[in-house]
Structure 1
Amino acid sequence: MIARRKVLLGGAGLLALGTGSCAGRRMWLDREPKLPLGIDAQGRALWSNWSGLEHAYPASRAAPASEAELAMLLPKAQAPIRPVGAGHSFTALVPTQGTLLSLDRLEGVVSHQVITATVRAGTKLSALGPALAAAGQEMVCLPDINKQTLAGALSTGTHGTGKGITAIHGTVTALRLVLPDGSIAECSRDERPELFHAARVGLGSFGVLSEVTLQNRPLSRVKKVVRLVDTDWVLGQWPALASQHRNAEFLVLPFTGKSALITHDVTDEPVRPRGPDTDSQTLMDLKRLRDLFEFTPGLRRRAAQMAMKNLPEEVAVDEGWKLLSNERPDRFKEMEYHLPIEHQVEVLREVIARIERDAHGVFFPIEARIIAPDDAWLSPFYQRESGSVAVHAWYKEDHQWMFKLIEPLFREAGGRPHWGKLHSLCASDLAALYPMFKEANAVRRSVDPAGRMVNPFVAKIFG
């Protein structure tokens, strides 16, 4: 989770102290999870999300190549109809025994003006960056991973980080939505505004996005700096740091007392491309440290701090779309809540304390970001500046500690969950957190009265 080469390998001698039975004790836990059958008894092919936590055997699959084809398909498709992007959501938004609908063939930039662009909804964020750059534009709200489709990112409230920077849906000025009956709705603040406000973060439940118009910024060059700092220091300085940089975030490395502070700022310095992505190596180093010293947290901390001593900062200068997002080859499971900004640091301190006291098996970093408010009715950032806190578990390991140990903290602080990440909330919980939840749900029912886009998880969300 951090761009730092071989953070712990410098302490290889320290790590060697823990070899033997302790490492062997962990080996049996590193087995691949048992996968469902690729084909079920009815001959239906398996769909699984990226983490492997959710799966389904849809009766049919569709990938329309145009909006017109999509409009013809929806009224006839077997319900529940569930759109699928890149499968990077950790919740059960996608699984269906009906129709699995991919937008992979609806991709590319349709048109652009000075700093706006109309984009087909199936476009991957990884492809959108260079396409916008070619038009002299950029998105400064790109998330940590850019494999998602634009539709999937919008539908789940996907975000980046930065003072005054909204999540991606906050930059949407208009959208085209194919409704379950096959009709096409053009939505903006002036045209069908209620549907616009409800469906910008729509969980794939108001219809299927076909085109989106984005308000972007002129293309700029940014300087990315990654440096290792004391966790106590960054927690104390975080409000000031978040205000000083265009994009700022940090990742707490549990059981080390250290965090990776990552900043992006506009610059006119010459291009200095980012080096090879070594986050996976770093993560596995943190895992090895855990494997060796899980039951001696004091030694774990000392070994980590000696290994990380005097590491230089890393610097890259390039167009922002090349630096904001990262490769994440190591699969994981994630819970992220968005807290009132004034509660972020205090909650994060307690998250760290609880993990280091009661969850010694955790080795993934804890991520902290900041997001500006917007006015989408189902946005986790609705009318509220938010500080996000995200905890992770390796895909091979148990994640129930998130619900028992961490989620109660988030809920006590009035946190709203990321729609694509693990949470236990249902309609009554969400109605108390979202001032416009009732109105959004009424709009959803009006465009899908038969519930053709409702799977069991969506039913739990909306009641």
Structure 2
Amino acid sequence: MGADILRQSGAFRVRGTARPCTFQPQDERELFRAFAPSANFLPPFRPAGARSAATDCNSTTAGTVVDLTTLNAIRDINLNEFTVTVQPGVRIRELATELASQGLELEGCHDLMDRTVGGAVAGGCIGPAIGGDGGLFAAQLCRAKLLTPSGAPLEVDASKNNLLSALRLSYGMLGVLYELTLRVRPVRPFSANHRRCTISEFAAISDKIARSPAGVRFWLMPFRDRVYLDLRRHDSSSAEGGRLPWRIKDWGESTVLPHVFKSLKHIVPVKGVRYRLIDEISSITQGLVNNRLVEHGSNSTIQTGGAHTQTLNYSTWLFPAADFAIVVRAYQEFCLRIRNETGFRCDMPTMGFRLNRDPSALLSPMFDEAMIALRAISTQSAGWEDFAIDFAGFAEHWGGVPLFNQSRSLSQDHARQVFGERIEFFRKVRRRLDPENRMMNPFLSQYFL
């Protein structure tokens, strides 16, 4: 029976004896009071922002969820030092809009723009890297103010580099971030080129893609044997481009397609017919929004679009870029096999992007080498959990590296294997800051206790 529960949930769960409560501080003083020994709030404490995680990393079966979305002030934009200081609840797209008004942008090109800055720093937020850009949003963090699990404030900067490295991608286990300072830069335009190819053709050029300075993003359709490539290069001679085309692209991919595909489930009940129609719509959309709309842009233009309000099922795994020629072919075979064996397939294209080596965070999945991410996405819940477990098995077989907030059904043994000594070092840091496990929930305890 226990195995059945694990397979249905895709995550380790412990049934608590009391329901968790949600606390939403209106200012930092309220946040500090909640951690005081005399407070009525019970541990474990789990910080939460937009709650876009695909796993249970920011939830708890008992204790207190600390909703930080009301701490959303942009406190300072320093034009001399090229930094911005914010509270954790600021949405990335809102920050990008404010920076754009000052001629600035975030250093990386990241996705899920409705996430909060605190969540993007503490959890894995990634995106295609151009040139020397880092792949992690958290890499931009240069200073932070942290409320430790004991309720004491702590400021962390480059003088405490090991702690700063542990704080990035710490998944809320080291305390609650209540002020963050990020590096920013003047707007850097890029040109965008788009290509269409088969999966075999994509595999044949994957080594070149792995070494390319271009930002690489792609949409993979395993049942159509098609890949749509988006290649971006910094181009000082290029115009920045308007925001409207990128907003239309964002709206089409993240809102229109999921709504249409969900509706088709009720309108076209025959799976074979429905999936052929879905793939045709996806192909037409990729051709229109990429090839016809977006040729120039910058981080400031592409990160100021509308909110991603559509709830989707997704799981992300990262694979060594050097091995991706084999992995991408194996992924197509995996998707075809799962469809034939179970009848389930994802209705959205698989999204992917190349990530540069990025050792800025202790738990960085790109700590040692460049990686290519694969994000399986589906609007369908029936059959999704079993698929996510099978996808995790595929990823572990092919040397996939996880993000604890985005990779479903990660096994304990694989986490220890891929992070090695780094996960042990993180555990030591965590035990020093949180000896009573006040920031630990059942999901994370699998890997970090």
Specify the alignment match of 1:247 in structure 2. 215
Q: Retained in 1: the 8 A contact 2:109–2:129?
A: no
Distance 2:181 2:256 in 1: 38
**2:203 counterpart (221, 232, 235):** 235
Residue 318 of structure 1 deviates from its aligned partner by: 4.3
Distance 1:460 1:307 in 2: 40
Distance 2:79 2:283 in 1: 51
**1:442 counterpart (425, 428, 434):** 428
**CA 1:309 to 1:145, structure 2 compared with 1: closer, same or farther past 3 Å?**
closer
**CA 1:296 to 1:80, structure 2 compared with 1: closer, same or farther past 3 Å?**
same
Residue 432 of structure 1 deviates from its aligned partner by: 2.1
Residue 407 of structure 1 deviates from its aligned partner by: 1.8
Letter in 2 for 1:67: E
**1:455 counterpart (430, 441, 444):** 441
Residue 227 of structure 1 deviates from its aligned partner by: 5.0
Q: Retained in 1: the 8 A contact 2:316–2:407?
A: yes
Superimposed CA distance per residue, residues 309-358 of structure 1 (whole angstroms, 9 cap, x where no aligned partner): 99561333444233257754542211111122212232122111111233
TM normalised by structure 1 equals: 0.78
Specify the alignment match of 1:109 in structure 2. 74
Superimposed CA distance per residue, residues 138-179 of structure 1 (whole angstroms, 9 cap, x where no aligned partner): 114242211111111112221111253321111212211110
Distance 2:279 2:53 in 1: 35
Residue 244 of structure 1 deviates from its aligned partner by: 4.9
Residue 221 of structure 1 deviates from its aligned partner by: 3.2
Residue 90 of structure 1 deviates from its aligned partner by: 1.3
Distance 2:285 2:169 in 1: 43
Distance 2:155 2:278 in 1: 59
Specify the alignment match of 1:398 in structure 2. 383
Distance 1:405 1:308 in 2: 29
Residue 441 of structure 1 deviates from its aligned partner by: 0.7
**CA 1:234 to 1:426, structure 2 compared with 1: closer, same or farther past 3 Å?**
closer
Letter in 2 for 1:446: R
**1:216 counterpart (184, 192, 195):** 184
**CA 1:204 to 1:296, structure 2 compared with 1: closer, same or farther past 3 Å?**
same
**1:64 counterpart (14, 25, 42):** 25
* Pair 1:190-2:164 in alignment: no
Specify the alignment match of 1:42 in structure 2. none
Distance 1:410 1:174 in 2: 34
Distance 2:416 2:279 in 1: 47
**1:85 counterpart (37, 44, 49):** 49
**CA 1:144 to 1:291, structure 2 compared with 1: closer, same or farther past 3 Å?**
farther
Find the residue that maps to 2:381 and give its secondary structure: coil
Q: Retained in 2: the 8 A contact 1:248–1:263?
A: yes
Distance 2:268 2:175 in 1: 46
Q: Retained in 1: the 8 A contact 2:145–2:156?
A: yes
Find the residue that maps to 1:216 and give its secondary structure: strand
Find the residue that maps to 1:436 and give its secondary structure: helix
Letter in 1 for 2:114: K
Higher helix share: 2
Distance 1:171 1:281 in 2: 32
**2:299 counterpart (292, 296, 320):** 320
Alignment of 1:49-448 (within 5 A): 59-75=20-36, 76=39, 77-96=41-60, 97-111=62-76, 112-114=78-80, 115-163=82-130, 164-166=132-134, 167-191=136-160, 193-241=161-209, 244=212, 246-267=214-235, 268-269=238-239, 271-272=241-242, 273-274=244-245, 276=248, 277-279=251-253, 280-283=255-258, 294-295=271-272, 300=276, 304=280, 308=284, 311=287, 313-316=291-294, 317-324=296-303, 328-359=308-339, 361-362=344-345, 363-372=347-356, 373-434=358-419, 435-448=421-434
Distance 2:214 2:382 in 1: 35
Q: Which runs of 5+ in 1 are unaligned?
A: 1-52
Distance 2:176 2:286 in 1: 51
Letter in 1 for 2:442: P
Distance 1:259 1:451 in 2: 45
Q: Retained in 2: the 8 A contact 1:177–1:208?
A: yes
Distance 1:322 1:419 in 2: 29
Distance 2:231 2:261 in 1: 22
Judge which range, 300-309 or 122-131, deviates more: 300-309
- The Cα RMSD (Å) is 3.4
Distance 2:409 2:326 in 1: 22
Distance 1:310 1:177 in 2: 42
Identity score, percent: 20
Aligned length: 409
Letter in 1 for 2:157: S
Superimposed CA distance per residue, residues 186-227 of structure 1 (whole angstroms, 9 cap, x where no aligned partner): 112313x33222121111111001112212221133444555
Q: Retained in 2: the 8 A contact 1:347–1:410?
A: no
**CA 1:395 to 1:95, structure 2 compared with 1: closer, same or farther past 3 Å?**
farther
Specify the alignment match of 1:47 in structure 2. none
Distance 1:130 1:399 in 2: 35
